[in-house]
Amino acid sequence: MRLLIEKEELFEEIKIYLKIFELFKSYLILISDQEQMGIGNVTLASPPLIEGMKSTSTSYKLFGVEEELVSTIIAEKSSYILKAPVLLLTFIKSKKIIKNNIKPLVDFLNNSLHSIQNELRKL
């Protein structure tokens, strides 16, 4: 397991922490509003099976009941961009983040994922 990204960003006075680990042909993504990560919602997503086809990713909600849609969107988007299975652990205690900052949160993640994608292309 190799740490690819460890970032934090402030969204309306609430800090979001992001860690992305590279596993064997897959990724582990941790997102939290707590510096000490935790297990909240756990979502597994896999990319489209046929490259070049415009099919959506498949996600599996393993457990967690809060912010299910947000976790699914993040996992599917991550899996599609990275072209590999993604296990996402989302541990967000603040309701303010989910209600008011979905777009900036997804943009923050997208920028991080695209930087990984660019690095992988160089290899």
Query: Could you write out the DSSP letters of every residue in 45-101?
Result: EE--SSTT--PPPEEEEEE--TTHHHHHHHHHHHHHHHTS-EEEEEE---HHHHHH-
List the domain boundaries for the chain. Answer: 2-122
Helix (H) or strand (E) holding 122: helix 102-122
**Which class is domain 2-122?**
alpha beta
Residue 16 contacts residue 7 (beta carbons within 8 Å): no
pLDDT in tens, 42-74: 888 888 776 655 445 555 555 555 556 778 888
Supply the pTM of this predicted model: 0.80
The confidence band for 23, taking pLDDT boundaries of 50, 70 and 90, is very high
Question: Among candidates 64, 70, 88, which has minimal Cα distance to 78?
Answer: 88
Angle at 57 (CA atoms; ends 56, 59), nearest 5 degrees: 135
Task: Specify the pLDDT at position 55.
Answer: 42
What is the distance between the alpha carbons of residues 102 and 84, in angstroms, rounded to a whole number?
Answer: 23
Q: Which range is least confidently modeled, 5-14, 64-73, 113-122?
A: 64-73
First to last CA, the chain: 18
Task: Specify the pLDDT at position 20.
Answer: 93
Question: Among candidates 70, 89, 73, which has minimal Cα distance to 21?
Answer: 89
Q: Token digits for 20?
A: 């992305």
